[in-house]
Each structure stands twice: as structure tokens, then as C-alpha cells.
Amino acid sequence: MLPKSVRHIDGELWYSVYEGDNASLNYRVRKILHEEQTPYQHLMVLDTYDFGPVLVLDHILQTTTLDGFIYNEMITHMPLAIHPEPKDVLIIGGGDLGAANEAVKYDSVERVDMVEIDEAVVRLSRKFIPGVAGTGELDPRIHILYEDGVKYMAEADKQYDIIIIDSSDPVGPAVELFSQPFYEQVHKRLKPDGIMSCQSLSPVFNMFYLQHIRDVLGLFFNDVKTYSATIPTYNGGLYSFTLGLKKPPRDYKGLEPQGENRYVTPAILEKSFIQPLYVQEDLKMEEIHDV
């Protein structure tokens, strides 16, 4: 029996990502590499024709071999490049290890704590999606904690320079990662000059969540900035990320991403804060011309 998001069409397997009741994005599938119901969610790894092996949680596409680097570079390099000297990094979620691998590109980073609720995500990403998870031994600065991110945030007493909320969409175990109490704890766990970043979904289909995240972060952080990238994997193509900064940044110009990257450049980091007019209007924000 096929999973509900995979179906036969003209003798071929297709996986569909639905956006509400009226739109979907479809991927032709070579085979289902793995499927299981973990204690937390339904998990699949599909081998697709154009995007390679992809990770699917609760039937929602998370990352692909083809373009997963775009998401991981953007959610990670922006806060790390802005911070003057990031040493301690916390990632909530991120079980595909993409964000953790990006964080250790920075020479100043001494430790990356990655709190992932579901060990199966890490295990299967390393097995089937090495293009995202990496190959060989993990960088010794990466420490994986198999815990609930909300619980960890409420109980931990450690503070961080950077916190990255690399969550899946707000369904299943990720729902609480979009709540006001959770972001309040994020603020408490950051050092006085700390910066957080999170994925804030597509402004094309999910403007409600993007506005919600900005509103909630605005309750706790002195500066809130939304930036975007073009990621073919996600419905709508245009995808957003949002920063919460305890202190106003030193400057958004001259940001220098470290390591060998495929998407981020100094110009990309600087100009990604500029939003299309319809996004500015929906968010009631001023366009940033000179950040």
C-alpha cells in the first residue's frame, strides 16, 4: 500500500506536496527508499528523478539533494555572518545536519548543540542524503542531543550566541516551535548580543505564519528582520527567514560568509533583506534600500 502522498500515474510513481486545497507540486519518483512511522511522525525518503533523494516528514517535503544547500546556507550564514564572534551555536531541529555542517564552517565557532527530537531523521539523512547530511565523521564540534526542543529550551541553563530554529512546518511535533512561549525562551537563552534565525515559510502561501512570527519576535527582540531566498523545492519558490536580534546589528553591509558555499555571497546576504512590494505591503514594512 502506497503512502497517501505517493500515487501511481500512468504506471509511474509521483509524490505530491499539497498547498491547501487548490495547489500542489509533484515529483516523479524512482522508488521509495525508506518509510516508517517513528514515535513522533511519519518519515519517508524518496529517490526522485530531478531532485535526488529527498526527506519527507508527515508527508511534507523537508529537504532535497538538489537544492537543500540553499535553505541550509541561508538560515545559518546570515546570523553567523552578522554576529561579530559566534562561538556557541544552538540548532533546534535540523536533523538532516545541513545547518550544523554550515555552522562549523566558521572558525570562531567552538560548539554546535543540535537538539533533534527524532533520531530516525538523523540516521536516515546520513544514510540516504549525504549531499545534505555530509559524509564521514561529524565535525567534533557538533553535539547531537535527542530531546524535545521545547523542553530543552525551557530547562537548559546554557546561553548561546546564535540560536537557529530549523523546524519543519507547523504540524506534528513542530507546532510548539511557532508559539509565543517558545520564542520567549529563545530570547532568554541568547547572550546579550545574541541572534536567532528561523524559517518563516513562503510569503506566497503562508503570509499568516510569516506575520505571526514577526509579531511574536517583536515582543521580545530589539530588531526583527525578514530576508528571503529562491528555493525551487518549496511551493511558491520564494521562501522567507526571519532574524531576531537582541541588539541592533553593527552593519548589514560587508557580511562575509565563511567556507566554501554554493548560494550565499556577500551580495546575496546584504540584498536578501529587500522584499517584493506585495510582501512589504502585506507585512506593512518599509523596504530596506540601504541596510
257 is in an annotated binding site: no
Is 10 among the residues known to form the active site?
Answer: no
Between CA 268 and CA 216 the distance in angstroms is: 26
Between CA 275 and CA 207 the distance in angstroms is: 13
The CATH homologous superfamily for domain 6-64 is Spermidine synthase, tetramerisation domain (2.30.140.10)
169 is in an annotated binding site: yes
Between CA 272 and CA 78 the distance in angstroms is: 10
Between CA 161 and CA 88 the distance in angstroms is: 5
The set of cell numbers assigned to 143 is 553535539
- Residue 162: the pLDDT is 98
- Residue 290: the pLDDT is 38
Domain ranges of the chain: 6-64, 68-283
- Annotated catalytic residue: which of 10, 166, 223, 282? 166
96 is in an annotated binding site: yes
Between CA 99 and CA 122 the distance in angstroms is: 12
Closest Cα to residue 189, out of 160, 220, 149? 160
Closest Cα to residue 69, out of 102, 118, 107, 28? 102
Positive/negative CA dihedral, 65, 68, 72, 74: positive
Closest Cα to residue 189, out of 165, 162, 217, 212? 162
CA distances from 244 to 157, 183, 191, 227 (A): 20, 10, 12, 12
Where does residue 68 rank: exposed (0-12), middle (13-18), buried (19+ CB within 10 A)? buried
- Residue 285: the pLDDT is 64
Between CA 95 and CA 37 the distance in angstroms is: 16
184 is in an annotated binding site: no
Averaged pLDDT, groups of 10, the chain, 291 residues long: 89 90 90 96 97 95 96 98 97 97 98 97 98 95 96 93 84 59 93 96 86 92 94 88 89 90 96 91 62 40
CA distances from 281 to 275, 286, 287 (A): 10, 8, 10
197 is in an annotated binding site: no
Are β-strands 190-199 and 88-93 bridged in parallel, bridged antiparallel, or unpaired?
Answer: unpaired
Between CA 111 and CA 266 the distance in angstroms is: 24
193 is in an annotated binding site: no
The set of cell numbers assigned to 154 is 525551557
Q: pTM here?
A: 0.93
Q: Which CATH number fits the domain 68-283, given the four candidates 3.90.1150.10, 3.40.50.150, 3.40.50.2000, 2.60.40.420?
A: 3.40.50.150
- Residue 18: the pLDDT is 86
- Residue 245: the pLDDT is 96
